[in-house]
Amino acid sequence: MLLIGAVPTAMFVVMSALIWFNVYAFTVSPLSALKIAIGVVPSAVVLGSGLWVLVFKGDSPLHGVPVREEEQPELWALVRRLAEAAGTAPPDDIRLTADANAAVVEDTRLLGLIALRRHMFVGAPLVAEMAAPHLAAVIAHELAHYGNRDTRFAGTAYRSRSAFAHTLTAMNRDDYLQRGLHFLLRHYGRLVLHASANLSRRQERAADEAAARTVGSAPTVAAFGDLTSIAASWELFRRRHLVTGWQAGYLPADAFAGFRRLRDSLEGEPVEADEPDPYDTHPPMGERIASVRALDAPGTVRVPAGAALGLLRDPRPLLDAALLDGLGPEALAKRRADWPALVRIGALASATEHTGLVLANAARATGRPVALRTLLDALDADMLVEVGTDPAGPQRPTDGPRVRRERARILVHAGLTGAVLAALTDAGALHWSESWPSRGAVRLDERYDDSLPDLLDAAVSDRPDTTRLRALLDSADQPRERPRGRWHYR
Amino acid sequence: MALQIGAKTRVLMAMRKEAKARGLSVQKYMGTASHQELIALIRQVDPTVNPAEIVPGLPDIPPVDVTRWGMPPEAALSTDLSRPVPVVGAAVAAARAGDWRPAADLLERSYGDWAMRSVAVHALGEAAADDGAWMRAWRATAGENRHFAAVEAHGLLWLGWKLRGSRPGEETSPMQHDAFFQTLRRSEAASHRAIELAPDDPTPWSTLITLARGLSYDPDQFAAHWRELQARDPLHRTGHEFALMYWSPEDGPGSYDSLFAFADRAAAASPSLAFLVLQAAFDYEARDENIWRDAMVQRALDLVLRWLSTPAGGGGVFADSDRRWAAYALVSAGRGAEAVPLFAHLGVDASGRPWEDYNDDAAAVFDSFRRRACAAVRS
């Protein structure tokens, strides 16, 4: 507490001294004081605004979806039992979030002297993937922070850090006075950040021990492993899979089923070992596991074995709502698709990024309708450069003919690939499938023994040859009852 | 002083007018207008003022008449890199006109003179990247021989850069990045083909060294290529130049200490490589401009100047290349007056490094440096 308060106190002292000095100077010589003020006022303003962030900043809006006790009595009952075992009051609300972690936050005022409400955040990925005793260990760990009275000042410690960072970045280093202050604060502040990280590590160790005493050492150690692997795979899932159809307006119908399949496909792959970071607020994982194991605690609260999902009634809509909450308001407008459809939608959306432009160029160059056949005709007529010119592209007046031609070839290849993939998909000649952990896979129907990449390369080569590509499209495009996509062949 | 204030006021009035014409505030206009536009505007108002003294941050272009020192006017400057070596210039001009024979003759005649071959392949490679017609005609008539293969490999390297453009990564589209990597991969494959056709030729190995940065070779991979180049020509200039760029800590592996050590070792091996220390200083100057007054840099600069005064140094195919580095270093080190004869010798040739690193501003930067050199004589 002493150290946490030290940065803002130092900032306050420096600011007051600057103001006092200026006021004093004013009484001695108003003209000199005015000159001094030119240097002092900006510094005082910067320090003052940093302190404002620290002391008066309210709570940030809560994220996550509330889990109501009347709807989910089993989860609430577990949390209450764990709170009782930890010797603390249960939280005022539980919220399910889209993050792969759990947290405790208390609303406070005046640097943590007044506490208002306690919130518990539980990540939906943890609920979806962990066993109930492991999730109980995570919750017990978070509740232990309440029992230890950690959380009330945690907000202050956090805000002290952000006020400090705010002040440092706001300082204008062109001016000597501010440069000097910057130097002092930077070196002194580094010391304090280090100390507050140390304090935080001690709190984490205490919480680990409390969790082990409540639910047992074994589930607690297992929960550590789960947390690391879920966090890594969730990050991959969010980046690579969850938003694959986002641009086309789609989200997965059952996101967590996909997450399960991703994790199954990653089974046995090593999880990155965490490197020690001097400012990390958690002790190294190896150390945490060793000390919990050494306790060999049997646990006092019995948690039924089985998946954590069993703690929730009708969990799917709740998990889905938490996921949408994490994706922002735009997510509500997305349509839903199952995973194979999503693979197709996402891949075609990115493959056809340049298709519209290339087809339109071909239609303009030949005076014929916008269609894949028109594009192939234009390529046969050696109109590669016309078809592949992007008015918004990076061309320069000094570009030679080969540069223009190569640039066009790359654009046309991309646009043509998208058009062909779309046409063959419409014709039922391409099969899209899930292929965890990759984004998906596509395969040409067994009826055809062509190599699609070779056919596409041949169509945009210096001596263009579209005959085999046309033959493939013709044989695939037998009239059938099916909806037409945007980029039909005929 | 009175005149200076007058010019400043008149420039400000002109800027206000220009901003109004574009519907912008003066601040907004100054923030969006390019250096070239601002310099043009200042010159319109008064051609005898230094833009850096009117608007802080604009290049230092002292108002001197360089023609009094026998230098050509700015409008006559050329960034054509085939110009400095006349036989190469002739071969490139013929190639650009569609005739591949002078290029083939030059490469055949000079085979074994690796310095000449390096300069010729570099300049012909650019011509090949601009227009592939003469290369196709060459291959159709003469087949794929060692000369064609070396130019083709280096030409694909040029093509990759032209497709990418020279903007920083974040201003380059994914498609430009893809085109760059694909084309550099083709250049890499073509280099290995050229090596098969001419196992004793260092030139394709030098092309691979040049590719190393773009293809993110790891240090082991780079070292393997470097050994091959060294075995064929231990003092290969272009290879050293691009090895230094590979090792630049700017966004590659290595540190400045090892960069300067590499350059200093090369300079000790031969005065023909002393320019590398100046190149390293150029790389470093954004961090500390005082590097130009550093003893090691000054020593290397004097070594380059002495080398240029010898028949081998002053008459070789890389003589102008050394003159550029020496001229840049002299002006940067506050010894501008000594650079005047070098700039006079370079004449209209504003090609090559360090100027070409300024892309579209290459000729303007060249002009600014020679004006600073001339201004140093007067003061």
pLDDT tens readout for residues A69-121: 999 999 999 999 999 988 888 999 999 999 998 987 777 665 555 667 888 99
Give the pLDDT of residue A472.
Answer: 92
> Torsions phi, psi of B362, nearest 5?
-50, -50
Give the pLDDT of residue A140.
Answer: 93
Closest C-alpha to B155, from B127, B180, B133, B174:
B127
In angstroms, the CA B229 to CA B149 distance is 17
In angstroms, the CA A54 to CA A119 distance is 21
Pairing of strands A102-109, A441-444: unpaired
For residue B19, name the pLDDT band (cuts at 50, 70, 90). Answer: confident
Give the pLDDT of residue B10.
Answer: 82
Cα-only R_g, chain B:
22
> Torsions phi, psi of B81, nearest 5?
-80, -5
For residue B60, name the pLDDT band (cuts at 50, 70, 90). Answer: confident
Residue B179, Cβ density class (10 Å: 0-12 exposed, 13-18 middle, ≥19 buried): buried
DSSP lists the bridge partners of residue A119 as: A93, A105
Best residue in A402, A404, A405, A417 for a mutation probing chain B (most B CBs within 10 Å): A402
Kindly state whether B131 is in contact with chain A, defined as any CB-CB distance less than 8 angstroms. Answer: yes
Q: Which H/E stretch holds residue A93?
A: strand A93-97
In angstroms, the CA B239 to CA B85 distance is 19
Give the pLDDT of residue A41.
Answer: 77
Give the pLDDT of residue A403.
Answer: 94
Closest C-alpha to A95, from A75, A115, A110:
A75
Q: Which H/E stretch holds residue A335?
A: strand A335-337
Kindly state whether A269 is in contact with chain B, defined as any CB-CB distance less than 8 angstroms. Answer: no
Q: What are the tokens at A412?
A: 């046309």
Looking at CA atoms only, how far is residue B162 from chain A in angstroms?
Answer: 7
Specify whether the CB–CB gap between B249 and B258 falls below 8 A.
Answer: no
Half-sphere exposure of A263 (CA within 13 A, CB side): 22
Taking domain B85-246, whether its CATH number is 1.25.40 is answered by: yes
In angstroms, the CA A462 to CA A413 distance is 13
pLDDT tens digit string along B321-373? 999 999 999 999 999 999 999 999 999 999 999 999 888 888 989 999 999 99
In angstroms, the CA A84 to CA A90 distance is 8
Q: Which residue of A396, A400, A411 is in closest CB contact with B129?
A: A400
Q: Which residue of B128, B175, B183 is in closest CB contact with A411?
A: B175
Nearest residue of B to residue A407, measured between CA atoms: B163
Nearest residue of B to residue A403, measured between CA atoms: B130
Q: What are the tokens at A442?
A: 């596509």
- What are the structural domain ranges in chain B? 2-58, 85-246, 255-379
In angstroms, the CA A284 to CA A274 distance is 7
In angstroms, the CA A138 to CA A101 distance is 9
Q: In chain B, what residues touch A396 (CB-CB under 8 Å)? A: 165
Give the pLDDT of residue A287.
Answer: 85
Q: Which residue has the higher pLDDT, A198 or B84?
A: B84
Q: In chain A, what residues touch B151 (CB-CB under 8 Å)? A: none
In angstroms, the CA B264 to CA B299 distance is 10
Give the pLDDT of residue A2.
Answer: 47
Amino acid letter at A290? A
Q: In chain A, what residues touch B129 (CB-CB under 8 Å)? A: 400, 402-403
Rounded to an integer, the average pLDDT of B208-221 is 93
Question: Which residue in the block uniquely carries the two structure tokens 């760029």?
Answer: B245
Specify whether the CB–CB gap between A247 and A345 falls below 8 A.
Answer: no
Looking at CA atoms only, how far is residue B302 from chain A in angstroms?
Answer: 37
In angstroms, the CA B150 to CA B153 distance is 5
Give the pLDDT of residue A3.
Answer: 47
Q: In chain A, what residues touch B56 (CB-CB under 8 Å)? A: none
Q: What are the tokens at A258?
A: 């996909």
Specify whether the CB–CB gap between A353 and A414 falls below 8 A.
Answer: yes
Closest C-alpha to A237, from A97, A101, A439:
A439
Report helix, strand and coil shares of chain A as percent, to nearest 5: 60, 10, 30
Q: How many C-beta neighbours within 10 Å does residue B88 have? A: 24
Closest C-alpha to A224, from A101, A313, A40:
A101
Specify whether the CB–CB gap between B7 and B46 falls below 8 A.
Answer: yes
Best residue in B175, B177, B182 for a mutation probing chain A (most A CBs within 10 Å): B175
* Residue A402 to residue B159, Cβ atoms within 8 A: yes
Q: Which H/E stretch holds residue A250?
A: strand A250-252
Give the pLDDT of residue A260.
Answer: 94
Q: Which DSSP symbol is given to A387?
A: H
> Torsions phi, psi of B349, nearest 5?
-80, 100
The length of chain A in residues reads: 490
Rounded to an integer, the average pLDDT of B193-203 is 97
Kindly state whether B178 is in contact with chain A, defined as any CB-CB distance less than 8 angstroms. Answer: yes
In angstroms, the CA A33 to CA B347 distance is 58
Q: Which DSSP symbol is given to B349?
A: B
Rounded to an integer, the average pLDDT of B30-40 is 79
Question: Which residue in the block uniquely carries the two structure tokens 């223009």?
Answer: A404
pLDDT tens digit string along B21-32? 888 887 788 777
Largest CA distance in chain B: 71
Q: Which residues of chain A have pLDDT under 50?
A: 1-3, 152, 481-484, 490
Q: What are the tokens at B236?
A: 């290969």
Q: Which residues, including other chains, have CB under 8 Å from residue A92's CB and lie 6 or more apart?
A: A117, A118, A119
Amino acid letter at B172? T
In angstroms, the CA B368 to CA B377 distance is 15
* Residue B131 to residue A401, Cβ atoms within 8 A: yes
In angstroms, the CA B270 to CA B276 distance is 11
Q: Which DSSP symbol is given to A269?
A: P
- What are the structural domain ranges in chain A? 65-148+215-332, 346-476
Can you say whether the dihedral through the CA atoms of B363, B365, B368, B374 is positive or negative? negative
Cβ pairs bridging A and B (under 8 Å): 41
Closest C-alpha to A322, from A100, A60, A135:
A100
Give the pLDDT of residue A118.
Answer: 84
Closest C-alpha to A12, from A160, A172, A207:
A160
In angstroms, the CA B258 to CA A58 distance is 51
Give the pLDDT of residue A143.
Answer: 87
Looking at CA atoms only, how far is residue B129 from chain A in angstroms?
Answer: 6
Window A:388-427, CB contacts with B under 8 Å: 394, 396, 399-403, 405-407, 410-411, 414
Question: Which residue in the block uniquely carries the two structure tokens 């043009």?
Answer: B40
Residue B112, Cβ density class (10 Å: 0-12 exposed, 13-18 middle, ≥19 buried): exposed
* Residue B130 to residue A401, Cβ atoms within 8 A: yes
Half-sphere exposure of A19 (CA within 13 A, CB side): 11
Q: What are the tokens at B355?
A: 């100027």
Kindly give the residue spans of alpha helices, DSSP state H, lying in chain B: 2-21, 26-32, 35-45, 51-54, 86-96, 101-109, 114-130, 133-142, 146-164, 174-197, 203-211, 219-232, 237-246, 256-269, 275-284, 295-308, 311-315, 319-332, 340-346, 362-378
Cα–Cα distances in Å, from B181 out to A398, B161, B164?
22, 9, 9
Buried-exposed string A336-345: b where 16+ CB fall within 10 A, e elsewhere: ebebeebbbb
Window A:226-265, CB contacts with B under 8 Å: none
Looking at CA atoms only, how far is residue A429 from chain B in angstroms?
Answer: 28
* Residue B163 to residue A410, Cβ atoms within 8 A: yes
Cα–Cα distances in Å, from A141 out to A201, A215, A224, A428, B137?
13, 10, 11, 53, 75
